[in-house]
Amino acid sequence: MFIVDDRLQMKSNPNKTARAAIEDEYARKLLALCRKPLGSCEAGTLRSSLDVVRGETESIGKAHSAIASQVKSELEEPLVAFSGGMKERRKIVQNGIERLLKTKNQQTQAVNKVFRCLTPLDLILKHSNPDIGKR
């Protein structure tokens, strides 16, 4: 169990859930182990005991394979869909903010252009009498 937890923490593939990958790998290795001819040369109760161990190993491997597919279908696929939706929403909001920033920059440039055209005397007159520019 500790090995699985350590590998779960070390796994960093963003396209595949680490837990599902570990379960899938463990299931494949268990199923490969149960296909090996363990105890085929034995006789009697030892052979039947090893057959039981092989059968149990196969059932555990199939259970882990089912867990891996369940994790993929119940967790990975909805998370990928949610992540994609969040990216789309983020793009929409970001585009709106970029448009506002562009407008703000254009307005700032226009104000700076007007201030560059004014003489220091015009600025003093406008500050002392705000009604000068209203016509």
Domain spans, the chain: 2-128
Instruction: Work out the percent of the chain whose per-residue pLDDT is above 90.
Output: 34
pTM of this structure: 0.52
Mean pLDDT computed over 80-103: 94
Residue-level pLDDT at 11: 47
Q: Look at residue 37 and tell me whether its pLDDT is greater than 50.
A: yes
Q: Look at residue 10 and tell me whether its pLDDT is greater than 60.
A: no
Q: Could you give the angle at the alpha carbon of 85 between the alpha carbons of 89 and 67, nearest 5°? A: 155
Two tokens, residue 10: 């070390």
Residue-level pLDDT at 121: 67
Q: Measured between alpha carbons, how far apart are the two ends of the chain, in Å?
A: 82
Mean pLDDT computed over 40-65: 87
Q: What count of Cα atoms within 13 Å lies in the side-chain half-sphere of residue 26?
A: 23
Residue 22: is it exposed, middle or buried by C-beta count within 10 angstroms (0-12/13-18/19+)? buried
Alpha-carbon distance values, 84 to 41, 74, 80 (Å):
55, 16, 6
Residue with tokens 């903010």: 97
Residue 1: is it exposed, middle or buried by C-beta count within 10 angstroms (0-12/13-18/19+)? exposed
Distance of CA 80 to the CA centre of its chain: 7
Range among 4-18, 26-40, 65-79, 90-104 with highest mean pLDDT value: 90-104
